[in-house]
Amino acid sequence: MTNIWHPFTQHATAPAPLAVAKGEGATLILEDGRRIIDGISSWWVTTHGHNHPRIMAAIRAQTEKLDQVIFAGFTHAPAETLAAEMLKIVPPGLRHVFYSDSGSTAVEVALKMALGFWHNRATPRTKIIALEHAYHGDTIGTMAAGARGVFNAAYEPLLFDVARLPFPSDPKATLAALEREAPNAAALIVEPLLLGAGGMLMYAPEILRDMKAICERYGTLFIADEVLTGFGRTGTLFACEQAGITPDILCLAKGLTGGALPLAATLATPAIFNAHYSQDRRKTFFHSSSYTANPIACAAACENLAIWQGEPVRERIATLAAMQEDRLAPLRSDPHFGNVRRLGTVAALDVSVSDPGYLADAGPLMAAKFLEQGVLLRPLGNTIYVLPPYCITGAELDTIYAAILAAL
Ligand SMILES: *Cc1c(COP(=O)(O)O)cnc(C)c1O
C-alpha cells in the first residue's frame, strides 16, 4: 500500500508510479536512468521545456531576497512587475490582476468576481452558463461549472446548477441556447477554442466571437478560462486573440511560470474591479490564498514573460504546429483513427474501440504501451492527444507518433 495518495489514480489497479530524477527539455529522466519523452507537458504545464535555465536562475535569484510575504497590506517587486508585464500582453481592456495558485482557484476567483459584480450592483444575477464537455477544475465550484460524469458523481448533490450549452459542433444550436440563457445570467464561462479535459475538442474562433457578442448584448459577463490555452498552446499567446475578443474576466495558470511553479492569475476589466470599489467595506472582494502572489513563483513568471519577449517562442510554436501537422497528415486517411484534429501545437485523434468511455480499459492499456516505448501520453478515454513542450525536436515527435502506431 502506498502512503502517498496520487491524483486521479485508482491505486487498486494502477501500476506503481515512476520515480523521476531529472527533467531536461522535453525529456524526463527516471531514477533508474530510463528516458521518457514528455508528450503531455507534464499535464499541460511545461511550455518552454523542463528546467529552462533562465527560469531556474530567476528562481534561485529570488530565493536570495524574499521567500513569502502576506499579500494583504503588502506588495513586492516580482508581483508588481509581473502584473504590469501581463497587462501589456493580454487582450486589451483588462486592467486588474488577482493572484492565486492554481487553475481551479483562478476559476473560483473568476466565478466569485462575477457573482460579486452583480451582488454589489444590487441587480442580482446568479445563473452561470457553461459549455457541454467543459472542464474548469476539481474544486466544488469549478466542478459545478464543468461537465458532470464519473469524476464528480459522488459530489453531484452539492454542485450548483448551471445552464448548459451544447458543444458547438452545431454552432447555431449553441448560439440559440445562449440567446435563451444569457438575458438573466451572471456570466458565461468557456474554454476558448479548445476543451481540454473534455476530450481535446476544438471549435472555431468565429463561434467564440459570436458567443462574446451575445453576452455583450445582454450585459452577461464573459469569463475566458485560458488555464490550458494560455501561453501559446493554440498557436497564439492567448486563444481569445484569434477571435479578437477581450473577456471581462481571464483565468491564467498552467503556463504562467513556464510550468515551473504553481501560480495563477485572474484578470478583470475596470467594470468588475469598480463594482467592488467602495467606501462600504461589505463590497470588498473577499478572497485570499495563503500563498497569494508568492514572490518566488512571481519571479519565475516574470522570467517566463521575458523569455516570450526575448526568445523566438512564436517561431518555435509555428514550427511545432507544422511538425505536428506533418505527422498527423497520413493518419487522417488511416481507418484506425477518427476525428484527426489539430489546433496550434495540440494534436488529437480518436481510436476506434468498442467502449470509448473514460473508464474503458483502452486508455490505461495504451498509456502502458506508450511508456514501454519511452513516451508519456495519457489518453482521455479513446482520445490520444499530443501536447508537448515547445522545445520538442522532430526526432522526439517521430518517436511519439511511432509509439502511437505501435500501440494499435
Ligand atoms: C487544468 C485546468 C484547470 C484547473 O487547473 P489546476 O491548476 O489543475 O487546478 C482549469 N481549467 C482548465 C481549462 C484546465 O485545463
What are the structural domains, with CATH classification, of the chain? 20-52+312-407 (3.90.1150.10), 56-310 (3.40.640.10)
DSSP code at position 51: T
Give dist(CA 132, CA 347) in Å, integer.
21
Cell of 211: 458567443
**Is beta strand 127-131 parallel, antiparallel or unpaired with respect to 163-165?**
parallel
Cα distances (angstroms) measured from residue 138 to each of 7, 152, 202, 329 = 11, 9, 22, 35
Centroid of ligand 1 to alpha carbon of 53 (angstroms) = 26
Instruction: Report the nearest-CA residue for atom 8 of ligand 1.
Output: 103
Judge contact between 139 and 104, C-beta under 8 A: yes
Residues 6 or more apart from 391 whose CB is under 8 A from it? 25, 26, 48, 49, 316
Taking the CA of residue 229 as reference, the ligand 1 atom at the shortest distance is: 13
Taking the CA of residue 262 as reference, the ligand 1 atom at the shortest distance is: 7
Q: What angle do CA 241, 131, 203 make, to 5 degrees?
A: 45
- The one-letter amino acid code at 238 reads F
* 280 CB neighbour count, 10 Å cutoff: 8
Residues 6 or more apart from 18 whose CB is under 8 A from it? 30, 36, 371
Cell of 91: 487582450
- The one-letter amino acid code at 299 reads A
Among 136, 194, 251, the mutation site with the greatest number of ligand 1 atoms within 8 A of its Cβ is 136
Residues 6 or more apart from 237 whose CB is under 8 A from it? 89, 230, 231, 308, 314
**pLDDT, tens digit (0-9, with 9 covering 90-100), for 282-294:** 999 999 999 999 9
Among 102, 104, 143, 291, the mutation site with the greatest number of ligand 1 atoms within 8 A of its Cβ is 104
Digitized pLDDT (tens) for each residue of the chain, 408 residues in all: 679 999 999 999 999 999 999 999 999 999 999 999 999 999 999 999 999 999 999 999 999 999 999 999 999 999 999 999 999 999 999 999 999 999 999 999 999 999 999 999 988 899 999 999 999 999 999 999 999 999 999 999 999 999 999 999 999 999 999 999 999 999 999 999 999 999 999 999 999 999 999 999 999 999 999 999 999 999 999 999 999 999 999 999 999 999 999 999 999 999 999 999 999 999 999 999 999 999 999 999 999 999 999 999 999 999 999 999 999 999 999 999 999 999 999 999 999 877 666 667 788 999 999 999 999 999 999 999 999 999 999 999 999 999 999 988
Taking the CA of residue 264 as reference, the ligand 1 atom at the shortest distance is: 7
